[in-house]
Amino acid sequence: MMDTSWSQATKSQGISRLTNLAGRRAAGQVHSLDGTWRAILDPYDTGLINILGERNKQGFYRDFKPRHPADRVEYDFDTSLELQVPGDWNTQHPELLYYEGAVWYRRLVEVSASQVAAEDERQFLHFGAVNHTSRVFLDGEELATHVGGFGPFSVEVTGRLGVGTHSLVVQVDNRREPQRIPAMRSDWWNFGGIHRSVDLVTVPATALIDAWLTMAADGSLVGGVEVDGDTTNLHLTITVAGDTVVEEALTGAEHAVTVAHDEVAALERWSPNNPTLHPVTWTLTRSGDVVDQLGADVGLRTIATDGNKIVLNGEPIYLKGISLHAEAPSGGRRAAGAEDAETLLGWASDLNANFVRLGHYQHDEAMVAEADRRGLLVWGELPVYWGIEFDNPDTTQNALEQAAELVRRDRSRASVVLWSAANETLPGPERQAFIGSILTRFRELDPTRLTTAALLTLPSNDPAVHIDDPLGEHVDVIGVNQYMGWYYASRESMAETTWTSEFGKPIIFSELGAGAKYGHHGDENEIWTEEFQAAVYRAQIEMIARTEDCAGLSPWILKDFRTPLRVLPGIQDGYNRKGLVSEEGERKLAFDVLAGWYASLG
């Protein structure tokens, strides 16, 4: 039942799941709705709510046209703003750079006879991500609400798309709200818009809405499928590299599979040095007839911990990493698509990195696909950041929904080895319970990967830093954000600083670094110079190399990125300058410092 309160939406409703869109696309079941959409700004929510606080019966979602010369309709999509999808609205029109509020998007969908769903087919609108809260309307009827700015979601439209022209309208609202995730304050740009692709997807009446396969720490294969439709007398077959590894009757709408290690021991393992991807096919049959089928290229590898080590395919691995935001290589816009992913992760490869932290939210699927291809290990993260309402049940529920979106989309990706539940949250019982519930959800949906969270390390005069945040007991790997030499402590003090933890687990320095404006040069003791930043990196490297529990690092950050928090004229100008490259991709001195050290590690 749809929410009729018209108040700010806090829960997703009417949403369907449809994963493995790449497999559907390869099978010709996907029709792109990307391109030019019309848009109307609506800071007062006039398109939804009238002056009495009731649903506006002539609201923008109705996409009305005047019926006669005297008919009063106070909006017109056909002559309104144009916005490209996928894309953020902030960088498409200068006047929208700081805009936070509602924008109504409209796309006219032309449906031909060949695109109408047959009686044995279903249709879904699939959204890669919309920031932040969206309401979806088709031909004036509200179908669904989605809460969360970075995860994929689908809306069923079976039987609603006959031959002709249909009006698809999406209200997008990126206002910061206390109960949202992220909340009121974050150190990145609040890009609004339909910033990932929109597709019309046609599937069989009984469809695989989820299909996944990965390798557990013991070398066995684990995975499963979820089926929407008639599940009677269904048979599931899974092949890997052409060999059948699963052939069994379906036990219900959700069906888990396990394949013993000795049955798949000969399959080549994925690793940074050898990113082998195997073709995997999931096939549903009934009485020998194919009901639905999905395919994907899947890497197989094991990931585990051994004391203070992270172990990949049975061997310790040191994570030579870098963090990055989902911001494009140039132009300061939201990153989207394979070309942006190839450029950004190409820079990471140039650093001699084998690991990337995708902070602080779920990135475009093209990023993890490119990481799979390149052999880059991935830290995936939820936007549980500063100021979260840990005691709000609706916020908790939405965190769990976003966690499920993160895991379900990427749990067949060999590159993804860490699920991160949070960044820089302060200890407390409500916080422990909130993040604990996310960690539980991660492990329920995917017991094969490691869990982590980036803990906030506050300045101290004690050179012996001992990590005792109680969250460390609940994660597999401890992430530590520390900014010695920048926000606190001197570069010289790092020579005496040691790092240990209460928990005997691997430590990743998930953030470290310093700011510098590209092209701004001077003495290494002059702040904001490239020389200053490079000196901080050299001191950090010396300290980290002595830290026995350190299993890797992901310095902050690959490239400069937009943020309203950084306002110093002539230096920041609305950008966080901790990047190793500028907002236009120009490399700073610290890039070579880190790349050289990573190369020396082999």
Report how far residue 150's alpha carbon sits from residue 146's, in angstroms, rounded to the nearest whole number: 11
Contact between 294 and 208 under an 8 Å Cβ cutoff? The reply is yes
Residue 6 clears pLDDT 50, i.e. is over it = no
Q: Give the pLDDT band (50/70/90) at residue 375.
A: very high
Residue 333 clears pLDDT 70, i.e. is over it = yes
Mean pLDDT on 574-589: 98
Q: Which of 243, 268, 300 is the last residue of a domain?
A: 300
Asked if 171 and 250 sit in the same domain, the reply is no
474 bridge partner residues: none
Residue 28 clears pLDDT 90, i.e. is over it = no
Check which CATH number belongs to the domain holding 394 and give it. Answer: 3.20.20.80
Report how far residue 161's alpha carbon sits from residue 117's, in angstroms, rounded to the nearest whole number: 8
Residue 34 clears pLDDT 60, i.e. is over it = yes
Q: Give the pLDDT band (50/70/90) at residue 3.
A: very low
Mean pLDDT on 421-444: 96
Quote the pLDDT of residue 212: 97
Number of domains in the chain: 3
Dihedral of alpha carbons 406, 143, 112, 203, sign: positive
Q: Where are the beta strands (DSSP E) in 45-93?
A: 81-85
516 bridge partner residues: 528
Report how far residue 298's alpha carbon sits from residue 281's, in angstroms, rounded to the nearest whole number: 10
pLDDT, mean over the chain: 95
| Structural domain boundaries, residue 55 | 21-204
CB-count burial class (<10 Å; 0-12, 13-18, 19+) for 523 = exposed
Asked if 392 and 472 sit in the same domain, the reply is yes
Asked if 391 and 260 sit in the same domain, the reply is no
Residue 5 clears pLDDT 70, i.e. is over it = no
Query: What percentage of the chain exceeds 90 in pLDDT?
Result: 93
Asked if 245 and 322 sit in the same domain, the reply is no
Quote the pLDDT of residue 10: 61
Mean pLDDT on 111-138: 95
Report how far residue 578's alpha carbon sits from residue 486's, in angstroms, rounded to the nearest whole number: 10
Asked if 322 and 341 sit in the same domain, the reply is yes
Quote the pLDDT of residue 15: 87
561 bridge partner residues: 576
Q: Which of 204, 235, 251 is the last residue of a domain?
A: 204
Q: Give the pLDDT band (50/70/90) at residue 23.
A: confident
Closest by CA to 382, choosing from 148, 36, 195, is 148
Asked if 247 and 354 sit in the same domain, the reply is no
Q: Is residue 9 part of a domain?
A: no
Asked if 198 and 127 sit in the same domain, the reply is yes
Q: Give the pLDDT band (50/70/90) at residue 502.
A: very high
Residue 9 clears pLDDT 80, i.e. is over it = no
Residue 209 clears pLDDT 50, i.e. is over it = yes
How many helical (H) and strand (E) elements, i.e. helices and strands, does the chain have? Answer: 8, 32
Report how far residue 25's alpha carbon sits from residue 31's, in angstroms, rounded to the nearest whole number: 8
Report how far residue 566's alpha carbon sits from residue 583's, in angstroms, rounded to the nearest whole number: 14
Contact between 120 and 114 under an 8 Å Cβ cutoff? The reply is no
Report how far residue 45's alpha carbon sits from residue 37's, in angstroms, rounded to the nearest whole number: 19
Mean pLDDT on 420-427: 96
Tokens of 397: 């529920």
Q: Is residue 395 part of a domain?
A: yes
Asked if 361 and 484 sit in the same domain, the reply is yes
Quote the pLDDT of residue 1: 36
Amino acid residing at 487: Y
> What is the DSSP-derived secondary structure letter of residue 425?
P
Mean pLDDT on 483-496: 94
Quote the pLDDT of residue 41: 98
CB atoms within 10 A of CB 474: 16
Contact between 438 and 382 under an 8 Å Cβ cutoff? The reply is yes
Mean pLDDT on 34-53: 95
Contact between 178 and 389 under an 8 Å Cβ cutoff? The reply is yes
Q: Is residue 2 part of a domain?
A: no
Asked if 33 and 158 sit in the same domain, the reply is yes
Q: Is residue 16 part of a domain?
A: no
Q: Give the pLDDT band (50/70/90) at residue 331.
A: very high
